Amino acid sequence: MDKLVIEGGVSLNGVIAVSGSKNAALPILFASILLDAPTTFTNVPNLRDIHTTIKLLTLLGCACDFADNTVCMTPGTLTAEAPYDLVRTMRASVLCLGPLLARLGQAKVALPGGCAIGARPVDQHLKGLEKMGAHFDLDAGNIIGRCTKLHGAHITFDMPTVGGTENLLMAASLAEGETVLENAAREPEIVDLANFLISCGARISGHGTSCIRIQGVSSLGGTTYPIMPDRIEAGTFLVAAGITNGNLLVKNCPWQELEAVILKLQSMGMVLEKHPEGVLARRGEAGLRSVDVQTRPFPGFPTDMQAQLMSLMCLAKGSSLVEESIFENRFMHVSELLRMGAHIRVTGRSAMVRGVEHLTGAPVMASDLRASASLVLAGLAAHGTTHVRRIYHLDRGYENIETKLNAVGARIRREQE
Residue nearer to ligand EPZ on the CB measure, 239 or 316 = 239
Give which of 382, 390, 388, 396 is closest to 413, Cα–Cα: 388
62 catalytic per annotation: no
**Neighbour tally for 381: CB within 10 Å:** 28
Q: Is there binding between residue 123 and ligand EPZ (CB under 6 A)?
A: yes
Within 324-400, where are the H helices?
332-339, 369-381, 392-395
State the nearest-atom distance from the C-beta of 218 to ligand EPZ, in Å: 28
Query: Residue 201: left (phi > 0), alpha (psi -120 to 50), or beta?
Result: left
Specify the stretch interacting with ligand EPZ by CB under 6 A; choose among 1-9, 154-162, 307-315, 378-386. 154-162
At residue 279, what is the residue type?
V
Q: Is there binding between residue 306 and ligand EPZ (CB under 6 A)?
A: no
Q: Is there binding between residue 120 and ligand EPZ (CB under 6 A)?
A: yes
Specify the stretch interacting with ligand EPZ by CB under 6 A; choose among 2-10, 162-170, 175-183, 341-349. 162-170
Q: Kindly compute the dihedral angle of the four CA atoms of residues 183, 188, 191, 193, in this order, to the nearest 10 degrees.
A: -110
Q: Is there binding between residue 367 and ligand EPZ (CB under 6 A)?
A: no
Among 11, 161, 179, 374, binds ligand EPZ (CB under 6 A): 161
Return the residue nearest ligand EPZ (CB atom).
163
Query: Residue 348: left (phi > 0), alpha (psi -120 to 50), or beta?
Result: left
* DSSP-derived pairing of the beta strands 2-7 and 411-416: antiparallel
Q: What is the arrangement of strands in the sheet containing 270-275, beginning at the earlier edge strand?
A: 13-17, 247-251, 278-283, 270-275
Among 38, 105, 118, 341, binds ligand EPZ (CB under 6 A): 118
Among 92, 147, 170, 316, binds ligand EPZ (CB under 6 A): 92
Give me the helix-helix angle, 97-104 and 123-131, nearest 10°. Answer: 20
Q: Is there binding between residue 398 and ligand EPZ (CB under 6 A)?
A: no
Residue nearer to ligand EPZ on the CB measure, 239 or 315 = 239
State the nearest-atom distance from the C-beta of 188 to ligand EPZ, in Å: 11
Q: Is there binding between residue 326 and ligand EPZ (CB under 6 A)?
A: yes
Residue nearer to ligand EPZ on the CB measure, 133 or 164 = 164
Q: Is there binding between residue 110 and ligand EPZ (CB under 6 A)?
A: no
Within 142-245, where are the H helices?
162-173, 188-199, 231-243
Among 28, 80, 122, 184, binds ligand EPZ (CB under 6 A): 122
Q: Kindly compute the dihedral angle of the four CA atoms of residues 8, 369, 239, 244, in this order, to the nearest 10 degrees.
A: 0
Are 105 and 149 in contact, with CB atoms under 8 Å apart? Answer: yes
Among 142, 303, 306, 311, binds ligand EPZ (CB under 6 A): 303
Q: What is the DSSP letter of 349?
A: T
Q: Is the dihedral of CA 360, 361, 365, 368 positive or negative?
A: positive
One symbol per residue from 5 to 24: x for binding ligand EPZ (CB under 6 A), - otherwise; what is it? ------------------x-
Q: Is there binding between residue 136 and ligand EPZ (CB under 6 A)?
A: no
Q: Kindly compute the dihedral angle of the four CA atoms of residues 31, 35, 38, 41, in this order, to the nearest 10 degrees.
A: -20
Active-site option among 64, 72, 115, 147: 115
Within 225-284, the residues that bind ligand EPZ by CB under 6 A are: none
Interface positions with ligand EPZ (CB under 6 A): 23, 26, 92, 118, 120-125, 159, 161-164, 185, 303-304, 326-327, 369-370, 397
- Please identify every residue annotated as catalytic: 115
